[in-house]
Structure 1
Amino acid sequence: MEYAAAKSSICRQCGHYFSPFAPKPELKLHAKEEAPALENSSILHRFEDFWKRQRSSIIECFECNRKQQVCGAATSTICPACSAHIDLRDYKITGGFSRTIRTRGDVHLTAKGDLSSSGVICRSALIEGRLRGNLHCDDTATINFSGKIPGSLSARHVIVKRKADIHCFRRVRVGTIEIKGKMSGEIIAQTMVAVHKKGSLEGDVTAKAITVEKGGMFSGLLVIGQANLAQGELLPEQKPVAESMPEADISGAAPQRVPAT
């Protein structure tokens, strides 16, 4: 450290004199000029962004089931009743993913994706990759891959695409289901099961109605009725035979003599 009023000083390494307060030449660094980002000026993307900001949707709280209206551009919100956080983001899975997802947005599992989450709750889902966890959709679940689904699957509406070939180990609970490809497993539907042309379904089905188009195939046990009925409840209750036969009234009858033999 040098004295503030010093005019010159000596270097302790080489012994030369120098002025400690002489102006130093500025270092000029030639920074690499970055190319400006290309702005997406397509009319289609501008229209999609505008439409997403203008539209609104009705969502339901995960905790208290209270419904509220939110803007389409929002990524999250808070329930006005219980102050719980509600995720509104869309998820696109292109690789291995094992975290739990609970959103009111959409989930897209690409062909190279591997979803092994213990629980996934979303509005709608497009499954094109490997699904090893549990999936619940409030709206539509579209399946377009070939493989096994060891977890549970539930949705309001399920579509099995033409090129799909899936095997479900656990019960599939749906409102309605359309099978255009191949599927094997047990289905419990609230309304209808539809097997389209060239579609194939193998397994037990419980639904209120089923349609199999010409060229489609169904193999399994079919129960038409309510999903919560047991096998014994499907049959009408029958009274015992002993109760149906009238008993003879012998209280007022006169005694009869039996002839001696």
Structure 2
Amino acid sequence: MANPSPAKISVECPHCGFKQTEYTAAKSSMCRQCGRYFSPFAPETGLKLRVKEEAAAPQDSSIRQKFEDFWKRQRSCVVECFECGRKQQVSGAAMSTICPGCSAHIDLRDYKITSGFSRTIRTRGDVHLTAKGELGSNSVVCRSALVEGKLRGNLYCDDTATINFSGRIPGRLTAKHVIVERRADVDCFRRMRVSSIEIRGKMSGEIIAQTIVTIHKKGSLEGNVTAKAITVEKGGIFSGQLVIGQAAFTQGELLPERKLAAANTAEPGISGAAPQPLPAT
């Protein structure tokens, strides 16, 4: 009688969050996405709870959720490879794909952060930082993001980053387009680099925009701005230094060179030491 094959479980990489299948007896494994080693140990109780949740999910799903899932499957989007930059069209319901050019793995999942999180994320999906979440990752790359919690790490968005948070943001935020909502009151500790930004609430910090900065009605911005254009609607407030266009700094006039004449002063000759008298005998 043939021996049954060893059981396998689904494990998640603690570094990048990638899920893969490993044997239950495995002591260590290597992530197929980031190449780092980790321990795939997971308690059996967690597996039982996960199975129950997956079984109960279809019963609790509403008609609206089913319609959204169906609409997501019908849509398609164009994603770009992180490694070689090649673009391809994938289904909206896909969780991951492989680049046809360099065979690199591309993550397409959406991430929702509800507590402290410090892992690296690199996805073409969306990231939602909830009010109770705290993002401290050194590198998070996504398509778009909704920031409602504490951002302490580095966040880069290919598309739009929406800020609906009140407090200080010590992390670095870089995005193509940024929207500061009306209820937001943020103090950005680091310089924000964007293509364009819309401010509907209150914000303080330094902004470098490639195109335009827009301050809507009841919006407020305090800080230095460098952009090609700025629009302040009636009722909006801007306080700080403004540089429009490409700043061209000219070097100050140099002082004329002063030619110092070398003074040829004759140094007095140093005479040798006077001979000491010989001791008397």
Choose from 73, 78, 84 the match for 1:58. 78
Choose from 98, 118, 122 the match for 1:98. 118
SS at match of 1:39: helix
Alignment CA distance shift 1:50-1:152 (3 Å): same
Aligned ranges for residues 242-253 of structure 1 at < 5 Å?
none
Choose from 121, 130, 138 the match for 1:118. 138
SS at match of 2:72: helix
SS at match of 2:59: coil
Structure 2 portions without partners, runs of 5+: 1-51, 254-281
| 2:235 is aligned with 1:210 | no
1:132 partner amino acid: R
Aligned ranges for residues 83-232 of structure 1 at < 5 Å?
83-226=103-246, 229-232=247-250
Deviation at 1:125, TM superposition (A): 0.3
Q: Which has the larger radius of gyration?
A: 1
Q: Percent identity?
A: 76
TM-score w.r.t. length of structure 2: 0.67
The 1-side partners of 2:230 and 2:249 are apart by: 19
Deviation at 1:202, TM superposition (A): 0.8
1:70 counterpart residue number:
90
- Deviation above 3 Å: which 4+ runs of structure 1? 40-43
The 2-side partners of 1:132 and 1:77 are apart by: 30
Q: Deviations over 1:191-212 (max 9, x none)?
A: 1101111111011111111111
Deviation at 1:175, TM superposition (A): 1.1
TM-score w.r.t. length of structure 1: 0.72
Q: CA RMSD in A?
A: 2.0
The 1-side partners of 2:238 and 2:210 are apart by: 18
The 1-side partners of 2:200 and 2:61 are apart by: 39
Structure 1 portions without partners, runs of 5+: 1-33, 239-261
Q: Deviations over 1:15-57 (max 9, x none)?
A: xxxxxxxxxxxxxxxxxxx9x8462564322221111111110
